[in-house]
Amino acid sequence: MTAAQPGPGQPYASIRRVLWITMGPKLVATVAKLAAGYLPGSLGLIAGGLEREL
């Protein structure tokens, strides 16, 4: 049995998929935290949202 050879660009596609799987929920949580802080004017939540991404 031989291993399938990856096509051109396939390793990058796998890397992009993993990055979206890991970064997607983090980005959603950050946007939600920023919105939750912005709506009532809570600087603490806004700072927490910014700190989460950095």
Q: Give the start-to-end residue ranges of the domains of the chain.
A: 26-54
Q: What are phi and psi of 16, to 5 degrees?
A: -60, -40
> For position 20, what pLDDT does the model report?
93
Helix, coil or strand: residue 20:
helix
Query: What does the block give as tokens for 45?
Result: 């939540």
Q: pLDDT per position in the chain (54 positions), as tens?
A: 555 566 666 778 889 999 999 999 999 988 998 999 999 999 988 888 888 766
For the full predicted model, state whether its pTM sits above 0.85: no
